[in-house]
Chain A
Amino acid sequence: MSGIDISVMVERWRPEPATEAEQECMKKMDLTTFEVFNHKIQLVALEGKEVMVSTGATSSLLAGDICSGLYTAQGDMAASAAGVWPHTVTGLFGIKWVLKHWKNEPSVGINDGDVFFNACSLAGAAHNMDQIVFQPIVYKGELIAWSSAVAHEPDVGAIEPGMPLSATTRYHEGELIPPIKIADNFRLREDVINMIINPSRTPRDLLLDTKAKVASCMRMRQRVLELAEKMGRDYVVGGLRMMIEEGAIRARKRLKSYPDGVYRGVAFSDSIGRDEGLYRIMMTVTKTDDKIKLDLTGTGPQVPGFINSFPPLTVGGLVLYLYNYLWPDVPPSTGVLEPLELVIPRPSLAFPEQDAAVTNGMQATTCVGQICFHPIFAKMAFDTPDRRNLAAPPCNHNRVPLLVCKTQYGTFTGGFMPEANGPGIGASTYKDGVNALSPSWACRTDSEDTETAESLFPMLYPFRLRHTKDMHGFGKFRSGAGFDSTYVVYGTDWFTLTCQGIFGRITTPGLFGGYGSTSFPQPHIINSNLLEMMNNSDENIPTNLQQVIIEKRIKGEYIVYGPNVPSNRVHKEGNVLTTAMGGGGGYGDVLERDPDLVMKDIRQELISDWVAKNVYHLAYDPKSLIVDYEKTEELRVAEKERRKQRGRPYEEFEKDWLKKRPPARALKYYGTWPDAHPL
């Protein structure tokens, strides 16, 4: 075999049918034994993750853009520890690809002691920065399972450092490595490893992370072999398959408990990476009995930017929602995908031609997709016991700052900025969302302290991780608050930063009447006087982003970016960079918010006086912070009356609405208006 084969990632994301051997093994396993096995395998996956994190190098390991897992011999994921849940989908394609193409290829083959590698989006990896290592687990000559570990790497030699904002085709995105063998007979192939790390601007990090993934796979392999030796091969084969089967059973039963229907969601965003421009993700979910069909018809055309994505990321977006919100009690496995049917038109943003740039595809279909998934499933599951798991979408102004730099110690390194993965979470149906820092993207992950960040990277923060006033979605329950940070390059003259985001002006919507979040820019200040201000203990040193942007307290050349920051500039000491993330959507009517909760927001400096008075219609004494409950009720009744007066019949509203059209410059990547067909 040579060349590209996208059929695996397009067709093989559902579990493979159980083999006869698997069925026989399952019959031999009683449920009590399986419960113990299940627990053990989950711990093995966790052990694999801990080994990877403990031995790796890059901050993405800490930020949680990782996953370790165990797969059946056919390549279906039975258990995983994440990290980022979409990796539980993307991890399986490399294995299935190797099984399809290399198993019977005499020059490659699959043998005990082999280790494979996949970083090719056309073979199912999310993008080439998510580098997946996987290893066959061979017991007494028979392939019985696979172990796998993945982490996002900071630099893979793209057209610009970090994530290549200016990429318009895959050939701008750096190394493109399809499934390949990197070790045989338990020894890493130095020549192959060298090939992998060679294009990177941070080869040391890449090498260490690759070794960490190998160590993770080796550890999980060892544990599975111990189990096979102690309990027998059938125990492992049957147990892993049962985990897949149980995933399918759980998904089907859960779906069955929801009302049948057709549910729609639509999301718009306004940046394709190198340029601004509207695009649309549209989803129609048809739920029938215990199955769902996810149809992306209506999604916009492929764009000449790096936000296109392939079908695994749409599925990844779905599991991100399901595991983080609706089905937190369901152990992740490929079985969960069994009742899913997927329809994605091609070519489109969600299924482009194969030469498309896709580095930031995760942000588009997976992240923007959340704006569709949340209201779709909120409507579907609202009147079920799962209502408590529902929430407005998390902040989709998720800015992913990624740096590559020469450190203050003279070495080159890269990784996520410590603030990655931290915006506010959307409001839930019964309480406020969690404030930043929060794990809206990855699960059970962490971030670095300022001191750790400043010791790893050459920078100094005048302020960091401040809750930004009013930067979240209001509602009966508000979303988690966002944050802002500013730092000055310090101790180096080679510092590059990219930032990937997808929402510039369009904000994360609320749920069932809740407000959307706010938008915000990202200014950089070249040749600033901040270090001088610090040396002089200047009292005008800003302590929040508003003082930077509006008051311009720092002198220098201001460059104001939207959601995306290209890394086409090498920053020197003294340049000031900023990062911020908002909150998610609010839930419910702002006029129903408990006045005491509004007052708590004021005390915690999360909202301004203006918002308290004009959004929540709260009457209070700004000095004593005492609420006037009666007056508040009066104000709210009056506001409800004004709403009625502002109301119009739907037909009348729709007629006017349909006349509206964004300016042409906003529609250059959109397709036809309003249906988003390819032009």
Chain B
Amino acid sequence: MRATINIDIGGTFTDCFVTADDKVSQGKAPTTRYNIALGFRQAIEAAAGGLGLSLDELLESTDVVRYGTTISMNALIERTGPKLGFITTRGHEDILAIGRGHSCYDGLSLDETRCLATLEKPEPLIPREMVVGVRERVDYAGKVVMPLQREEVLAKLQYLVDKGAMGFVVCLLWSIRNPVHEQMIKQIIQEEYPDTYLGNMPVILSSELIASRGEYPRANTTVLSAYMHADLADELHALGEELRQRGYKRSVLAVQNTGGTASVARTAAVNTYGSGPVAGLFGGTRICQVYGIDNAVVSDMGGTSFDFGLLVDKRPRFYETLPVIERYRTSIPMLQVSTIGAGGGSIAWIDPYVRRIRVGPKSAGSMPGPACYDQGGTEPTVTDADVVLGYINPDYFLGGSIPLSKDLAVKTIKEKIADPLGITVPEAAWSIKTIVDGTMGNEMFKEVALKGYDPREFVVFAYGGAGPTHCCGYASYLGNAKIYLFPFSPVFCAFGASSMNVMHVYDMARHIVLMKTKGGPLLSEYEEFNAIVAELKKRAIADMKGEGFNDSQIAFEMELGMHYGAQLFTVVVQSPCLLVKDDQDVTAICDAFEKTYAAAYSAMSAYPEGGIEVEVFRLKVVAEMPRYQFPVFASGGKSSKHAVKATRDVYWDGGFKKTPIYESGLLKCGNVVEGPAVIEASDTTTVVPAGKQYVVDQYLNAFIESVK
């Protein structure tokens, strides 16, 4: 037996998805923030138990362990990272404190930032007294305008060391064009504090991490990486050590928020942030491949938030524009997963001015949680509404492990919503459900539409504790989207990690004019373009060699950030070729850009007269990893009657109706459940309204579609 272990460490639970030949197993354990390794081990143990194996037996047969996380490092949350010194260009020492105009908003929602009297900027991770500037300057073209002075660097280093610096972050202006001064500073530090001394100081250069323009996000990326580095390295080292002691013989692969995985030794700490949800996107990719689906929205409705990401042509294609980690804007090429404050714990309230129901963004969280949890919560939530409406069985929530109080759900909705508005409790609950579904659906629609795609061409993959309960509601806003549901939904991000390849991403910001103006001359000096690609390829091949792959095992693809001349922003275009050798190649790239642009922003806004330019090169190198193949099950017939375990009153648009309740675990391949129906599993409840049917397919996944 050969196995893979795939972990996603979440805020509440650590999820594990294990593949073992053609079998799979999943495990969950509470996340132990004080010692991540504990929850990590317990989750694997639980999954191993599902296969009838001990932890050691499983680890001895395991080829790869992949690690993803949805939580921030403790160092960041508790501000317990090392004391760092920040070295930058003299005259620009306030860069971390001043930031950019948007710094006040970064990491906060619109509602949190409308009032300027209550606005707060993020506190820099490196205080002003640990920042020094050195005399040096490089211009926009990479030309040295002011040479670096060694003596000054030495004096500034001494100041930082005297202040207690335990490491250095170096971010100089235009180091992305010419890193010579950053490299000189690193050399000076290594000479002054060599490895052999206890005083050896780690040095992180911004030019080694990020190649894109913009010193503020680049500085943040570098600072965050340095700040989280030690904590993460210790954590992963401890995990790896424990696994190895128990029989695992290989290295741990860290899931990267840029997509793909990489060995821990080749992972920057900042690239692990938010890698769990990105793994979820790759779970969606795998599903697309299995079903031949081109476009999908991967959606996760949990207790406090609704996360979703887009797959186009069977894969994630969209990156965050300068993603924010906590409240720090960075420039890592992180795949986009959008988050809004809508979940089972979202609180419903009456707008005091216009007397109508609003839902969220405040959440009751998991403590005290919804009123029906009977943990002291007094605010009506989406979960309370789901209980009132009969969707969630209070005696079978999470398989009965958490008994819910329907009385408390009714009481709080009655007192806080229904009575003040003069409507019935079910009407109030129905409104809550309708509004939260609308919020999620509208947001999904906007994201799809903004990327230039027709939302009606997308299916929805629904997971998360509340996803199957609300998916028919929110998916309807895309049109008549088909919805897919999965038995491994509770560990979907861990499942996603199981399908990820080893991959590295390389960016380089360079301005190349492909076409001067409409119908004008095309780029004819190909060397500059090709030299950039060659440089990126060189770095990619070196990294992949370090990962243990040779040239024949790796593949490249390239994306270009392009725009019409004079535009501020770029659109990401899949390049039809890696290198350009003639007019045909240049034209093909321009055509790809114009097609992408017109789809996103309409042909009326096209501006070919301004020319077409490349600003960012992004090369991806991929080494394929074996993937779990879904086993095919024999048909158990269309009838699903055997799975009906009860009936109860469930509220559908207009009133309660006796509705069949199904036990998910009893449904077989081919079974069809006609709506209205409720399907209960130990981890979630699927709500199927009238006019829809729930079909179990040959992989024991299910889809919901309209009845023809």
Contacts and interface: CB of A to CB of B under 8 A. Distances in A.
A54 B97 contact: no
A538 to B, nearest CB: 8
Given A31-B357, A43-B446, A449 B101 contact: no
B604 A460 contact: no
Contacts of A207: 607, 609
Contact of A324 (B102, B114, B600): B114
A449 B566 contact: no
B553 interface: no
Nearest to A465: B98
A172 B646 CA distance: 81
Interface in A109-127: none
B443 interface: yes
B134 to A, nearest CB: 10
A461 B80 CA distance: 35
A25 interface: no
B564 interface: yes
B101 A389 contact: no
B566 A57 contact: yes
B116 interface: yes
B707 interface: no
Contact of B116 (A47, A425, A461): A425
A328 interface: yes
B76 interface: no
B139 interface: yes
B101 A63 contact: yes
B567 A47 contact: no
A539 interface: yes
A208 B610 contact: yes
B90 A62 contact: no
Nearest to B92: A464
A603 interface: yes
B118 A428 contact: yes
A214 B92 contact: no
Nearest to B566: A57
Given A55-B601, A428-B117, A490-B139, A451 B101 contact: no
A249 B98 contact: no
Interface in B104-119: 104-105, 110-111, 113-119
A40 B442 contact: yes
Contacts of B354: 246, 249-250
Contacts of A254: 353
Contacts of B103: 437
B610 A204 contact: yes
B135 A537 contact: yes
Contact of A452 (B214, B434, B439): B214
Interface string A321-339: 0011100110000000000
A246 B216 CA distance: 41
Interface residues of A, number: 101
A412 B147 CA distance: 31
A51 B104 contact: no
Contacts of B135: 537, 539, 541
Contacts of B511: 455
A447 B105 CA distance: 12
A482 to B, nearest CB: 10
B118 A388 contact: yes
Contact of A36 (B435, B568, B609, B610): B435
A543 B91 contact: yes
A449 B216 contact: yes
A449 B443 contact: no
Interface string A381-399: 0000000111100100000
Contacts of B92: 450, 461, 463-465
B438 A447 contact: no
Interface stretch (A68-76, A438-446, A498-506, A644-652): A438-446
A451 B140 contact: yes
Contact of B356 (A34, A61, A323): A34
A454 B100 contact: no
B90 A543 contact: yes
Interface string A48-70: 00110111111101111000000
Contacts of B118: 328, 388-389, 428
A4 B607 CA distance: 34
Contacts of B601: 51, 54-55, 215, 219
Interface stretch (B125-133, B256-264, B381-389, B577-585): B125-133
B98 A435 contact: yes
B116 A440 contact: yes
Nearest to A422: B101
B116 A434 contact: yes
B105 to A, nearest CB: 5
A425 B119 contact: yes
Interface size class of B (residues with CB under 8 A): 35 or more
Interface in A187-208: 188, 204-205, 207-208
B461 interface: no
Nearest to B135: A537
A329 B352 CA distance: 11
Interface in B605-640: 605-607, 609-610
B594 interface: no
Interface string A638-657: 00000000000000000000
B90 A215 contact: no
Contacts of A431: 120
A439 B97 contact: no
Nearest to B101: A447
B93 interface: yes
Nearest to A413: B566
A480 B12 CA distance: 38
B97 A57 contact: no
Interface string A419-433: 001100100110100
A156 interface: no
A62 B537 CA distance: 34
A328 B450 CA distance: 26
A186 interface: yes
B102 A43 contact: no
A514 to B, nearest CB: 13
B215 interface: yes
B77 interface: no
Given A215-B605, A435-B121, A466 B94 contact: yes
Nearest to A604: B128
Centre residue among B97, B127, B149, B352 by max chain A CB count within 10 A: B97
A449 B113 contact: no
A535 interface: yes
A142 interface: no
B95 interface: yes
A446 B100 contact: yes
Contact of B215 (A218, A223, A449): A449
Interface of B: 90-95, 97-105, 110-111, 113-121, 127-129, 133, 135-137, 139-140, 145-147, 149, 152, 173-174, 176, 213-217, 352-358, 430-431, 434-435, 438-439, 442-443, 445-446, 449-450, 511, 564-569, 571, 600-602, 604-607, 609-610
26 contacts: A31-B431, A32-B356, A35-B438, A36-B442, A47-B446, A55-B567, A57-B566, A57-B568, A188-B604, A204-B565, A389-B118, A394-B116, A408-B140, A411-B566, A425-B119, A436-B98, A439-B105, A439-B116, A448-B100, A454-B140, A460-B139, A460-B145, A462-B137, A537-B147, A541-B90, A603-B127
Closest 3 CB pairs of A and B: A463-B91, A36-B438, A215-B605
Interface of A: 31-36, 39-40, 43-44, 46-47, 50-51, 53-59, 61-64, 186, 188, 204-205, 207-208, 211-212, 214-215, 218-219, 223, 246, 249-250, 253-254, 323-325, 328-329, 388-391, 394, 408, 411, 413, 421-422, 425, 428-429, 431, 434-440, 443-452, 454-455, 460-467, 483, 490, 531, 534-535, 537, 539, 541, 543, 603-605
Given A54-B571, A249-B353, A460-B145, 15 more contacts: A35-B431, A51-B605, A53-B569, A207-B609, A253-B353, A328-B115, A389-B118, A422-B101, A449-B213, A452-B214, A466-B93, A466-B94, A543-B93, A603-B129, A604-B97
